[in-house]
C-alpha cells in the first residue's frame, strides 16, 4: 500500500514537473483539452438529437405479400417524425422525378409506385435511406453534402400491375418538405466557431508567454528575408522555377481545353471545379519537387560552411532559426509558384469555364500552405542529413513517395483488403475510395487537393468518401504545424540546444 | 576578490549518438568543469586536442546546452537568460563560416540584424569596424574572394558589432600567417585595453604566454589548473633550468666538484672528439658559479646555452600528470 502511495506521489511529482516545464504552452494545452471536450459534445449533440444511422431505419422495413395486397411497413408508427443526419449519396439533380418516369411501376429500391403526382418531387438518398421530398431540390443540394432532414412516416395506398395481377400496395414511407432540410454545417459552424476561438485564444495566450516574442518574430523574418534573397537567385531555384512554371501553365491550358472536349473521352474534364482539383495535383507534383529541392540540404549546407555556429551564437532561439528558414524557403518556392499558378489558372479559365471563387482562393492559399508543409517536412530530414548522399536520398525519396509511389500504395492496400482492381471502374468502388481518401490524409498533396475540392463547395458539411470536410481542414492546419514542431525538436536535439 | 564576469560551475556535457530516438553511443566531453574569468582579463584556454576546449566554448556561447552544472556570465545563468547573455557575448569560431555571396557590409547587416541596433547605427558601426580591421577597401567584394585572414577579421567584426562585454575566440590564429597573427594580436590587445574581457583557446602556447593575463589548462574535460600568467612565469623562473655546455679539458676532478655542489645535477655527459658536451640541471643563479669554477680550473668553454622552462613545459607536465591520473 505504501509502495503504491509512493509510486503515486512520484508520478504526481513527475507530472507536476512536466507541467511546469511546459509553462509557455499551458494555455494552448488547456485550449486543446477544451476543444476535445467540445468535439465530444458536438458528437453527442448529433447522436442525441438526430438519427445518424438512417440506413438502419431503412433496413428495418418489411414487405409482406398477402395475395394481391402488399404491405410495406417500418418499425415506427405512422405520423412519427425523425430528424435524420447523413450524406447525400446521390445528387438530388438525378433523383428528381421528371415526366419521363413510367407510371404504374413499382420500384422496390425506392419503396413506392411511380405515379404522375411524383413529378417535380425528389427521392433523396441519405446514406442509403430513401426520403421523398415534396419539391425539386435540383441546384439546392448536391451529392456528398451532409444534411439534416426532418421526415415523417406516412401511409398511403397505391396500385400497380405485376405479372397480370393487380396489386394493392399499402405502403409506409418517409416524406419531408424542402423547408425541413438543412445543411449540417448550420449547427457545425457554431461548434467550429467556438473551437476556433478557443484555439486562437490558447495560441494567443501561449505566444504572449514567450519572452521577447516580437523580437523573435522580427529575427525569424530577418532570416526568412535572407533565405529568400539567397535562395531565389540560386541556379537550382531558377531551373526548378522554369520547370514548374512551364508544367503548371501547360497543364492549366490543357485542363481548360479538355472541358470543351468530347464527353466520352478518357481525358474529358466535366467542370471547372474538377479541372481546378486536377490542376492542384499537377501543381503539387512539380512544386513539391522544388520545395524539397531547395530545403533538403539547408542545414547540411550550413554545417559544411560552418555558418550554423555563427548563427547559433546570436541571441535567437533554435525555434526562430527553423521558423525563419521554413518561412524563407516557402517564399523562395512560393513566389514563383504563385506566379505560375496565376498564369496557369488564367489560361485554364480562358480556354474553359470559371471555377468558384472560394476554389480559386483555396487553390492559391492552400498551395502556399502545402509548400510550407513540404518544406517543414523536408527540414526534418535536412536536420539529420550528414552527407550529400543523405541529402539526395532523403529529398528524392520523399518526393517519389508523396508524388509518385502514393497511388501504388493505395492500390497495394486496396488489393490486400480485397478490392477487385481488375474490375471496370474500380476507382468508383466505395471501398477503394474510402482507402484512397483515408490514406490521402497522410499525404500533404492529397490534403491540398481535398481542401481545394472542399472549399469549391458552398459548405464545409461535405463528406469526402468517409472523410468529413472539417477533418480535411484540420489536416490542413495540423500538417504544417506538426512538421514545423517536429523539425524544431529534431534541430534542437541535433544541436543539443 | 571581485565577482567573476564568467563562471563555470561543475559543467558536464556528453555527446550522444542516436538511432531511432535511442542513444547508442555517448562520450563525456566535459567532466564537472569549473573555471572563472574576471573582468578585463585575457584568459588563455589551453589543452591538448580533444580536451574539451571547443565544447566549453560552445556551451559558453549557447551553441550547445550543457547537461549539468551552471554557466554564469555577468551573474546571469545561461540556462534561464540565454537571450540576455548572448547579447553580451561576441564569438569567433575556429572555422569561420560566412556566406560567400555576401559582401562584408551585407554580412555585417545580416548578423547585426539579430541585435537591437537601428539600421543607421548598424551601418556606421559596420563601416567603423571594417576600417579598424583593415577591410574598408574590400567592403563591396564578395566574401568568397577573401583570404582566410580577411574572413577571420570579418567574423571578428561581426562578433564586435554589438559591443559585447566578453569576446570568446576559439583558436583565433589557426590558419593565419605570421603577419595575420601579429595583426590579430595587436587588435585583441587594443580591445582589451579598452576594457573588453577576452577568452581564447589556443594550441600556440607562445601566443598565450605573450598576450594572456590568465591561463586555464584543461584535459579530458576537467580543469587541471587555472592561474595568473605572471604566477606561472614566476614559478617557471623558480624551477631548475637546464644548462648545455661544450667544453675542452674537463677532467674527473672537475666533474666531482660540480656534482658535489648543492643544487647542481649532471644530467648527461657526452664526449665528442676533444670536446665534452655537458647537460646540467641547476638553479639559474648558479650559472656564474659554474662558469667561474670551470674557468679557474683551466677548462675552456666553447659554448654555453641555458634552456629555460617554458609555458609549454608546464602545459605538457600538467597534462601528462592528469593523463596518468
A302 contacts on B by Cβ (under 8 Å): 97
Report the residue from B95, B99, B111 with minimal CB separation from A314. B111
Whether A263 and A403 map to the same domain: the answer is yes
B86 contacts on A by Cβ (under 8 Å): 313-316
Q: What is the CA radius of gyration of chain B?
A: 25
Whether A181 and A261 map to the same domain: the answer is no
Asked if the structure places residue A222 within a domain, the reply is yes
Q: Which of B113, B163, B168 would best serve as a mutation to test chain A binding (most A beta carbons within 10 A)?
A: B113
Domain boundary among A161, A183, A209: A209
Whether A186 and A317 map to the same domain: the answer is no
Decide if A309 and B65 are in contact by the 8 Å CB cutoff. Answer: no
Whether A247 and A156 map to the same domain: the answer is no
The answer to whether residue B80 neighbours chain A at the CB level (below 8 Å) is no
Asked if the structure places residue A344 within a domain, the reply is yes
Helix (H, G, I), strand (E, B) or coil at B214: strand
Decide if A313 and B63 are in contact by the 8 Å CB cutoff. Answer: yes
Cα–Cα distance for residue pair A317/A480, rounded to 1 Å:
20
The answer to whether residue B146 neighbours chain A at the CB level (below 8 Å) is no
Q: To the nearest whole angstrom, how far is the Cα of B51 from the nearest Cα of chain A?
A: 19
Whose cell is 564578395? That residue is: B142
Closest residue by Cα to residue B255 from B241, B246, B266, B263: B266
pTM for the model: 0.82
Whether A283 and A146 map to the same domain: the answer is no
Asked if the structure places residue A205 within a domain, the reply is yes
Q: A326 lies in which domain range? A: 213-494
C-alpha atoms less than 13 angstroms from C-alpha of A475 in its C-beta half-sphere: 24
Give the nearest chain A residue to B57 (CA atoms).
A313
Whether A194 and A242 map to the same domain: the answer is no
Total domains present in chain A: 2
Whose cell is 582589451? That residue is: B192
Give the model's pLDDT for residue B284: 77
The answer to whether residue A229 neighbours chain B at the CB level (below 8 Å) is no
Decide if A315 and B86 are in contact by the 8 Å CB cutoff. Answer: yes
A299 contacts on B by Cβ (under 8 Å): none
Asked if the structure places residue A69 within a domain, the reply is yes
The answer to whether residue B88 neighbours chain A at the CB level (below 8 Å) is no
Residue pair A419/A431 in contact (Cβ under 8 Å)? The answer is yes
Domains of chain B: 40-60+82-235 (3.40.50.300), 240-308 (3.30.70.1340)
Residue A134 CB partners (closer than 8 Å, separation 6+):
A121, A175, A176, A177, A178
Residue A396 CB partners (closer than 8 Å, separation 6+):
none
Complex ipTM > 0.90: no
Whether A170 and A311 map to the same domain: the answer is no
The answer to whether residue B83 neighbours chain A at the CB level (below 8 Å) is yes
**Residue B117 in this model has a pLDDT that exceeds 70:** yes
Give the nearest chain B residue to A495 (CA atoms).
B64
Decide if A316 and B91 are in contact by the 8 Å CB cutoff. Answer: no
Asked if the structure places residue A475 within a domain, the reply is yes
Decide if A310 and B111 are in contact by the 8 Å CB cutoff. Answer: yes
Give the model's pLDDT for residue B148: 87
Q: To the nearest whole angstrom, how far is the Cα of B200 from the nearest Cα of chain A?
A: 16
Domain boundary among A168, A189, A209: A209
B111 contacts on A by Cβ (under 8 Å): 310, 314
The answer to whether residue B142 neighbours chain A at the CB level (below 8 Å) is no
Q: To the nearest whole angstrom, how far is the Cα of A317 from the nearest Cα of chain B?
A: 8
Closest residue by Cα to residue B105 from B152, B141, B153, B159: B141
User: Which H/E stretch holds residue B282?
Assistant: strand B275-282
**Residue B238 in this model has a pLDDT that exceeds 80:** no
Whether A313 and A391 map to the same domain: the answer is yes
Q: Which of B68, B110, B112 would best serve as a mutation to test chain A binding (most A beta carbons within 10 A)?
A: B110
Decide if B65 and A211 are in contact by the 8 Å CB cutoff. Answer: no
Helix (H, G, I), strand (E, B) or coil at A22: coil
Dihedral angle computed from the Cα positions of residues A372, A373, A379 and A380, in that order, rounded to the nearest 10 degrees: 160
Q: Which of A298, A306, A312, A314 would best serve as a mutation to test chain B binding (most B beta carbons within 10 A)?
A: A314
Whether A227 and A191 map to the same domain: the answer is no
Asked if the structure places residue A184 within a domain, the reply is yes
Whether A218 and A201 map to the same domain: the answer is no
Give the nearest chain B residue to A211 (CA atoms).
B83
The answer to whether residue A215 neighbours chain B at the CB level (below 8 Å) is yes
Asked if the structure places residue A1 within a domain, the reply is no
Decide if A313 and B110 are in contact by the 8 Å CB cutoff. Answer: no
Asked if the structure places residue A12 within a domain, the reply is no
- Between A78 and B176, where is the model more confident? A78
The answer to whether residue B151 neighbours chain A at the CB level (below 8 Å) is no
Report the residue from B64, B91, B110 with minimal CB separation from A497. B64
Report the residue from B95, B97, B115 with minimal CB separation from A315. B115
What is the grid cell recorded at A79?
Answer: 405520423
Give the nearest chain A residue to B101 (CA atoms).
A230
Domain boundary among A209, A238, A257: A209
Report the residue from B15, B98, B114 with minimal CB separation from A314. B114
The answer to whether residue A234 neighbours chain B at the CB level (below 8 Å) is no
Whether A227 and A284 map to the same domain: the answer is yes
B101 contacts on A by Cβ (under 8 Å): 230
Whether A262 and A305 map to the same domain: the answer is yes
Decide if A211 and B110 are in contact by the 8 Å CB cutoff. Answer: no
Q: What is the pLDDT along chain A (497 residues), one digit of tens a residue?
A: 567 888 889 999 999 998 888 888 899 999 999 999 999 999 999 999 999 999 999 999 999 988 889 999 998 999 999 999 999 999 898 898 988 778 888 888 888 899 888 889 999 999 999 999 999 998 899 888 999 999 999 999 999 888 888 889 999 999 999 999 999 988 999 999 999 999 999 999 999 998 888 999 999 999 999 999 999 988 989 999 999 999 999 999 998 888 877 766 666 677 888 889 889 999 999 999 999 888 888 888 888 888 998 999 999 999 999 999 999 999 999 999 999 999 999 999 998 889 999 999 999 999 999 999 999 999 998 888 878 788 888 888 989 999 889 989 999 999 998 888 888 778 778 888 889 889 999 999 999 999 998 898 888 888 888 888 888 999 999 999 999 999 999 998 887 75
The overall longest dimension of chain A from CA atoms, in Å, is 94
The answer to whether residue A306 neighbours chain B at the CB level (below 8 Å) is yes
Q: What are phi and psi of A83, to 5 degrees?
A: -95, 115
Give the model's pLDDT for residue A211: 83
Strands B76-77 and B214-219: unpaired
The answer to whether residue A167 neighbours chain B at the CB level (below 8 Å) is no
Amino acid at each position: 500500500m505504501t509502495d503504491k502511495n509512493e509510486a503515486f506521489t512520484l508520478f504526481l511529482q513527475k507530472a507536476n514537473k512536466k507541467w511546469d516545464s511546459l509553462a509557455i504552452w499551458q494555455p494552448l494545452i488547456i485550449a486543446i483539452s477544451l476543444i476535445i471536450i467540445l468535439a465530444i459534445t458536438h458528437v453527442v449533440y448529433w447522436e442525441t438529437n438526430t438519427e445518424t444511422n438512417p440506413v438502419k431505419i431503412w433496413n428495418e422495413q418489411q414487405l409482406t405479400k398477402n395475395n394481391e395486397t402488399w404491405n410495406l411497413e417500418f418499425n415506427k408508427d405512422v405520423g412519427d417524425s425523425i430528424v435524420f443526419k447523413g450524406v447525400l449519396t446521390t445528387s438530388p439533380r438525378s433523383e428528381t422525378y421528371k415526366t419521363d418516369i413510367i407510371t404504374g411501376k413499382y420500384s422496390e429500391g425506392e419503396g413506392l409506385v411511380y405515379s404522375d403526382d411524383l413529378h417535380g418531387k425528389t427521392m433523396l438518398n441519405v446514406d442509403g435511406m430513401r426520403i421523398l421530398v415534396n419539391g425539386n431540390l435540383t441546384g439546392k443540394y448536391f451529392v456528398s453534402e451532409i444534411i439534416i432532414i426532418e421526415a415523417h412516416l406516412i401511409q398511403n395506398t397505391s396500385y400497380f400491375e405485376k405479372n397480370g395481377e393487380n396489386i394493392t400496395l399499402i405502403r409506409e414511407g418517409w416524406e419531408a418538405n424542402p423547408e425541413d432540410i438543412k445543411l449540417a454545417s448550420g449547427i457545425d459552424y457554431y461548434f467550429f466557431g467556438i473551437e476556433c476561438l478557443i484555439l486562437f485564444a490558447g495560441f494567443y495566450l501561449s505566444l504572449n508567454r514567450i519572452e521577447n516574442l516580437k523580437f523573435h518574430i522580427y529575427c525569424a523574418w530577418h532570416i526568412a528575408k535572407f533565405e529568400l534573397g539567397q535562395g531565389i537567385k540560386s541556379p537550382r531555384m531558377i531551373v526548378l522555377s522554369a520547370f514548374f512554371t512551364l508544367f503548371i501553365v501547360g497543364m492549366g491550358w490543357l485542363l481548360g481545353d479538355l472541358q470543351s472536349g468530347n464527353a466520352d473521352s478518357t481525358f474529358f474534364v466535366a467542370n471547372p471545379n474538377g479541372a481546378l482539383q486536377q490542376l492542384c495535383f499537377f501543381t503539387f507534383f512539380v512544386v513539391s519537387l522544388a520545395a524539397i529541392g531547395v530545403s533538403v540540404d539547408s542545414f547540411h549546407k550550413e554545417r559544411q560552411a560552418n555558418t550554423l555556429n555563427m548563427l547559433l551564437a546570436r541571441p535567437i532561439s533554435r525555434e526562430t532559426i527553423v521558423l525563419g528558414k521554413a518561412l524563407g524557403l516557402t517564399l523562395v518556392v512560393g513566389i514563383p509558384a504563385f506566379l505560375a499558378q496565376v498564369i496557369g489558372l488564367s489560361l485554364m479559365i480562358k480556354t474553359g469555364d470559371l471555377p468558384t471563387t472560394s476554389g480559386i482562393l483555396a487553390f492559391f492559399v492552400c498551395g502556399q500552405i502545402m509548400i510550407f508543409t513540404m518544406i517543414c517536412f523536408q527540414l526534418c530530414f535536412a536536420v539529420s542529413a550528414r552527407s550529400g548522399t543523405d541529402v539526395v536520398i532523403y529529398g528524392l525519396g520523399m518526393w517519389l513517395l508523396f508524388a509518385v509511389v502514393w497511388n501504388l500504395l493505395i492500390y497495394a492496400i486496396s488489393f490486400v483488403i480485397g478490392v477487385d482492381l481488375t474490375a471496370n471502374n474500380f476507382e468508383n468502388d466505395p471501398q477503394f475510395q474510402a482507402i484512397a481518401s483515408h490514406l490521402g490524409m497522410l499525404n500533404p498533396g492529397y490534403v491540398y487537393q481535398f481542401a481545394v475540392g472542399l472549399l469549391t463547395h458552398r459548405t464545409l458539411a461535405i463528406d469526402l468518401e468517409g472523410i468529413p470536410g472539417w477533418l480535411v481542414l484540420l489536416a490542413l492546419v495540423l500538417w504544417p504545424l506538426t512538421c514545423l514542431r517536429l523539425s524544431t525538436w529534431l534541430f534542437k536535439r541535433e544541436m543539443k540546444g | 576578490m571581485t565577482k567573476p564576469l564568467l563562471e563555470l560551475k561543475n559543467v558536464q556535457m556528453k555527446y550522444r549518438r542516436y538511432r531511432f530516438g535511442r542513444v547508442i553511443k555517448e562520450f563525456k566531453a566535459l567532466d564537472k568543469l569549473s573555471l572563472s574569468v574576471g573582468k578585463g582579463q585575457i584568459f588563455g584556454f589551453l589543452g591538448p586536442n580533444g580536451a574539451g576546449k571547443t565544447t566549453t566554448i560552445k556551451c559558453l556561447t549557447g551553441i550547445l546546452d550543457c547537461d549539468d552544472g551552471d554557466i554564469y556570465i555577468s551573474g546571469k545563468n545561461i540556462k534561464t537568460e540565454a537571450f540576455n547573455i548572448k547579447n553580451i557575448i561576441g564569438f569567433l569560431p575556429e572555422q569561420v563560416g560566412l556566406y560567400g555571396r555576401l559582401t562584408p557590409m551585407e554580412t555585417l547587416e545580416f548578423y547585426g540584424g539579430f541585435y537591437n541596433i537601428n539600421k543607421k547605427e548598424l551601418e556606421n558601426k559596420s563601416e567603423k569596424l571594417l576600417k579598424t580591421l583593415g577591410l574598408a577597401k574590400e567592403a563591396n567584394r564578395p566574401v568568397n574572394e577573401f583570404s582566410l585572414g580577411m574572413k577571420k577579421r570579418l567574423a571578428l567584426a561581426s562578433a564586435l558589432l554589438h559591443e559585447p562585454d566578453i569576446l570568446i575566440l576559439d583558436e583565433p590564429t589557426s590558419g593565419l600567417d605570421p603577419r595575420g597573427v601579429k595583426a590579430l594580436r595587436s587588435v585583441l590587445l587594443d580591445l582589451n585595453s579598452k576594457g573588453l574581457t577576452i577568452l581564447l583557446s589556443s594550441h600556440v602556447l607562445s601566443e598565450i604566454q605573450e598576450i594572456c593575463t590568465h591561463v586555464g589548462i584543461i584535459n579530458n574535460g576537467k580543469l587541471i589548473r587555472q592561474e595568473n600568467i605572471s604566477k606561472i612565469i614566476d614559478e617557471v623562473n623558480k624551477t631548475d633550468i637546464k644548462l648545455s655546455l661544450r667544453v675542452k679539458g674537463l677532467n674527473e676532478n672537475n666533474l666531482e666538484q660540480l656534482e658535489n655542489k648543492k643544487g647542481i645535477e649532471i644530467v648527461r655527459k657526452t664526449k665528442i672528439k676533444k670536446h665534452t658536451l655537458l647537460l646540467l640541471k641547476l638553479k639559474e643563479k648558479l650559472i656564474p658559479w659554474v662558469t667561474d669554477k670551470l674557468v679557474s680550473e683551466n677548462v675552456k668553454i666553447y659554448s654555453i646555452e641555458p634552456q629555460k622552462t617554458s609555458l609549454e613545459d608546464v602545459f605538457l607536465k600538467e597534462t601528462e600528470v592528469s593523463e596518468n591520473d
